[in-house]
Amino acid sequence: RSTNIIRRFYPGMVYNRSMEIKLKEEVFKATEILKKGGIILYPTDTIWGIGCDATDAKAVQRIYELKQREDNKSMLVLLDDAGKIASYADVPEIALQLIEVSNKPTTIIYPNARNLAANLINADQTIGIRITEEAFSKALLFRFRKPLVSTSANISGQPSPACFADISEEIKNAVDYIVDFRRQETRPCSPSSIIKLGMDGSIQILRK
C-alpha cells in the first residue's frame, strides 16, 4: 500500500525502495506518539502541520497552547478516505462531488460535527475536514485509524511556514516528535482552499 501511495504522490519519480522503508519507519514512530496523546510535526498535502489525535481533548488543548491560539478558533481535521467523513459530520450531497473534482487540496466545513474532541468543534457545531492524498499523512492516517488534527506550524498571528526550513525552533522544540520525511523539500507550499457547506445545499467559499 505505501508503495502505491509514494508512486501516486511522486508521479515522475523512479521508485525508491529506501523511501518506502523510511516512510514506514516514520509512520510507525509517529503513530506510537499519537497513541500516547502526543503531538507531532508532520508533512501534509499542503504546508507542514502540527497534529494530534483529533478525538483526544487534552492533546488538542496542548496544540492550542503551543500556538497561543484561542480555543474558539477551530482547527481542521485530516482523513485518508472520503467514506469516513460521515462518522464525524453530516455530509451534504454536493460534498463528495467537490472532493472528486477539486484539483488542489480542499478543506470542507461540514455541519453537525461529532465523535471528535469537543474543543475541536466550532461553536456552530461545524468542523473542517480535508481528505489527504499526500504520501506520509495518508499512510499515517491509514495506520492510526483515527482522524488527525492539522494546523499550520506557527504561533498564531505569525506567517505560516512555506516549507520545513521556515518552521521556528520554538515550534520544533514544543512538539513530541518531528517526522523525518520530506524535510529537505524547498518548494513553497500553500494552505488549502476552504469551502463551507450547509445541509440546505448552500456553498460559501472562505478561501480560494
Report which of 206, 160, 195, 164 is spatially closest to residue 181, judged by C-alpha positions: 164
Dump pLDDT digits (tens) for 56-103.
999 999 999 999 987 667 799 999 999 999 999 999 989 988 988 888
Q: At residue 193, does pLDDT exceed 70?
A: yes
Three-state secondary-structure class, residue 73 = coil
Q: What is the mean pLDDT of residues 112-119?
A: 96
pLDDT at 15 over 70: no
Give dist(CA 24, CA 3) in Å, integer: 10
CB burial readout 67-90, b (16+ within 10 A) else e: bebeeeebbbbbbbeeeebeebbb
User: What's the pTM?
Assistant: 0.89
pLDDT at 13: 43
pLDDT at residue 155, rounded to an integer: 94
Query: CB of 149 within 8 A of CB of 38?
Result: no
pLDDT at 194: 92
Give the pLDDT score at 4: 58
pLDDT at 48 over 70: yes
